[in-house]
Chains A and B, each alone.
Chain A
Amino acid sequence: MAEISFPLPDLGEGLIEATVLDWLVEPGQQVERNQPIVELETSKSALELPSPQAGKVVRIHGAPGETINVGAPLIVFEVPDDTAGIVGTVPKDEAPKRRVRLSAVLDED
């Protein structure tokens, strides 16, 4: 298993930090991509941040009321080692299927 850390992104308009209002997930929980994971407040607005990926939550950073800088660790996921890179999918090893059959008279001359 590999751990993937997700840092706090720029939430818009070049803001440099955000305050945690409430965590919607906890360590050990399995989350899906786009599932809301945390409520954050910036000097402009309050918002729910969707999960960037599926995985098991390993750690969360920042208790409610604490401020996190953009680029600092926000949440750490655990994902299987065979999760593909940035693009593509891991091919599945499936039993070969065939439609063509061979027929031959093999003269062993």
Chain B
Amino acid sequence: MSETITEMPPVIPAAAGIQQLSMQQALNRALDEVLAQNPKTVIFGEDCGRLGGVFRITDGLQAKHGEDRVFDTPLAESGILGMSVGLAMAGFHPIPEVQFDGFAYPAINQIVCQIARMNYRSRGTLPMPITLRVPSFGGIRAPEHHGESLEALFAHVPGLKVVSPSNPHDAYHLLKYAATRPDPVIFMEPKSRYWQKGPVDLTPAAADTTAPDGGNLTGARVAREGRHLTLVAWGAMVSRCLQVAELAAEDGIDIEVLDLRWLKPIDAEALARSVAKTRRAVVVHEAPLTSGLGAEVAQLITQGCFDTLKAPVERVTGFDVPYPSGDLEDEYIPNIDRILFGIQRVLEYRRG
């Protein structure tokens, strides 16, 4: 393993205002601040320590906070998550990383059978304040196991919360929020959005969940307002849906984009609020269609807006195949045209 040395990011003064940061930098800064604020937090995973993470998310944190708090683990995800359980029992707040989403599979037993239900099993005496960072989804043409879309799997497990930011600002605030929760949160970072820069308001969030800068950190977020149709997405698909909305505007279709952000619990009220206005909805995700989270979203919309829906909720998703690697990704991940086709099917639908 090669060694990487990088300059430390500068320490941010309070009320630093708005800065242009990549999601990598935003997440790095959030972790830096969480480590500084809570002496019980520890960060670990494969290459998280000395190297600073293959995606540079933990860059410089070991040098700054010490080898006891930011450290490397063996290549054993069951061990990483098993150790997290023990640390949480002992009063720590572990922030483990599985290097790529496909590497979460060897730790499913620890995640599902221990982390998710220890609080329940112990009648609340052993809460699991664990923030599991999972670089997620496709879009970087990586080999097998390096691009997956596991949100439905995690969201199905009682006891887990699941969140996925779509931009640097949300990444910064949602990670700081997740890392201060008393319960396990699966934090799904969209790999393909790690490098793009965006404005981040670094003003420290208030103690409650509503920060004047970070906005509401618990529900969905309207990424673009529109009148005719709601595109529901999360993670890397949000930026693609925003592109689609721009293109649809050329054709006179005014599209609202709802960034779901929290995939468990899902903000059903925000879904109903948006679709009550637009009366049409398309949900977009990278995961396979069958039993994907799009089905859950479609049902929540249908339940909240059955009387006013102009068409069944359409799903534009990956296919029911293993997540393809490399060049085949472009054929699998919903592209602009497939999303536009989905929109057209909804626009054309007529009752009776």
Contact = CB atoms under 8 A, between A and B. Distances in A.
Q: Do chains A and B interact in one complex?
A: yes
Interface string B265-304: 0000000000000000000000000000000000000000
B320 to A, nearest CB: 23
A3 B246 CA distance: 39
Contact of A98 (B56, B100, B141, B337): B337
A7 B4 CA distance: 11
Contacts of B247: 96, 98
B209 interface: no
A52 B341 CA distance: 45
A102 B342 CA distance: 10
A78 to B, nearest CB: 10
Contacts of B347: 102-104, 106
Interface string B117-149: 000000000000000000000011111001100
B141 A81 contact: no
A44 interface: no
A97 B252 CA distance: 18
A88 B336 contact: no
Given A4-B4, A88-B142, A102 B195 contact: no
Contact of A5 (B3, B191, B337): B3
Contact of B141 (A6, A88, A99): A88
Nearest to B243: A96
Taking residues whose C-beta sits less than 8 angstroms from the other chain, chain B's interface range is 35 or more
Contact of B246 (A2, A96, A100): A96
Contacts of B146: 87-88
B142 A87 contact: yes
Nearest to A76: B5
A3 B252 CA distance: 49
B141 A89 contact: yes
A101 to B, nearest CB: 6
Given A4-B3, A87-B143, A93 B196 contact: yes
Contacts of B248: 102
B210 interface: no
A81 B56 contact: yes
The interface centre, meaning the residue of A85, A90, A106 with most chain B CB atoms within 10 A of its CB, is A85
A15 to B, nearest CB: 20
B251 A102 contact: yes
A90 to B, nearest CB: 5
Interface residues of A, number: 30
A3 B341 CA distance: 45
Nearest to B240: A96
A82 interface: yes
B340 interface: yes
A91 B139 contact: yes
A91 B240 CA distance: 13
A106 B5 contact: no
Nearest to B251: A102
B344 A85 contact: no
B192 interface: yes
Contacts of B6: 2-3, 81
B2 A2 contact: no
A103 B251 CA distance: 7
A2 B24 CA distance: 14
Contacts of A104: 228, 252-253, 344, 347-348
B55 interface: yes
A4 B6 CA distance: 8
Interface string A1-31: 0111111000000000000000000000000
Contacts of B139: 91
A7 B243 CA distance: 44
Which are the 6 A-B pairs with shortest beta-carbon distances?
A85-B54, A88-B140, A88-B142, A104-B347, A100-B340, A102-B251
10 contacts: A2-B6, A4-B3, A5-B5, A84-B140, A85-B53, A85-B56, A88-B191, A98-B247, A103-B344, A103-B347
Interface of A: 2-7, 52, 73, 76, 81-82, 84-91, 93, 96-104, 106
